[in-house]
Structure 1
Amino acid sequence: MRSGKLGFSLIELLVALSIMGLLVSIAAPRYFGNLDKAKEDVLKEDLYILRDAIGKFYADRNRYPDTLQELVAEHYLRKLPADPFTQSPNSWVVVPSEDPSMGVVQDVRSGAPNKGRDGTWLKDW
């Protein structure tokens, strides 16, 4: 027969929790930093794809699209991507053409109010 009680003492539990807390405090900043980097990379890729579709539309039709949805309707895009920071496909900011007779959407930018990791505004990318 065992004479001691089964289980852990309070000190053993506190030591284990403090070790776990230390490990989480080391890993958490890296995790959230990687999330921000991933969102920025997705934003850059989405902007490239949107601008490429606008360029192809212009090359084919000799005018810019009137809306971003026209790129989807004319099969230049399967669907309008969501901005990774705003989580919405409706937050893209359209840069209009200087000549309205050439269409409306000459360029597109992010509608996110954040700054990137390099300190530049995402809306200026």
Structure 2
Amino acid sequence: MKTSARGFTLIEVVVTLALLGLLASMAAPLTETVVRRGKEQELKSALYQIRDAIDAYKRAFDAGYIEKSLNSSGYPPSLQALVDGVRDVRSAKGAKFYFLRRVPRDPFATARQDDTGGWGLRSYDSSADSPRDGEDVFDVYSQARGKGLNGIAYREW
């Protein structure tokens, strides 16, 4: 009695491996795009949170809840001031206003302990074209190089 051996030929194995390699090479760029899109969503959300907190600080300053000085622009002196809180001058008990629970990190920045979340800071007296830090924080921007999937540089978001 003759028994036939069953199995795959070398050509079938090579073709299968070639197809798997082709599928993997197509999936890698898609995965990279999905990860990048996620980081861009985090960046957008973090910028919104910080800018919203800066605007809330300015509104509280203009309404007279925060102590005013002659040379103050009404914007927070640092991002950390939004977390640490400022004293409500109208409160007899010395209550504080808190604008952020923590300073969100820039998802594209390298993590360091001594920085302000990896953000570039723009003061009130600097132009939008060449932002620089100063006595207050008027706006924040990402210091990441490169452009987003929408074609706009990260630092212009």
TM superposition shift of 1:90: 2.9
Higher helix share: 1
Q: C-alpha distance in 1, partners of 2:103/2:153?
A: 22
Q: C-alpha distance in 2, partners of 1:51/1:2?
A: 77
For 1:1-125, list aligned pairs within 5 A.
Answer: 4=5, 8-62=8-62, 63-74=74-85, 75-88=98-111, 90-98=117-125, 104-125=136-157
Q: C-alpha distance in 2, partners of 1:11/1:18?
A: 10
| SS of structure 2 residue aligned to 1:82 | coil
Query: Which consecutive aligned stretches of 4+ in structure 1 deviate over 4 angstroms post-superposition?
Result: 6-9
TM superposition shift of 1:8: 5.0
AA aligned opposite 1:121: A
| SS of structure 2 residue aligned to 1:98 | coil
| RMSD (Å), alpha carbons | 2.3
Work out the percentage of aligned pairs sharing the same amino acid. 39
Which of the pair has more CA radius of gyration?
Answer: 2
Q: C-alpha distance in 2, partners of 1:76/1:65?
A: 10
| Length, aligned pairs only | 121
AA aligned opposite 2:100: L
| Structure 1 gap ranges (5+) | none
TM-score (structure 2 length as normaliser): 0.66
Q: C-alpha distance in 2, partners of 1:9/1:76?
A: 68
The answer as to whether partners of 2:124 and 2:136 remain within 8 angstroms in 1 is: yes
My pick for the range that moved more, 63-72 or 88-97, is 88-97
TM-score (structure 1 length as normaliser): 0.81
Q: C-alpha distance in 1, partners of 2:104/2:110?
A: 9
| Structure 2 gap ranges (5+) | 63-73, 86-97, 127-134
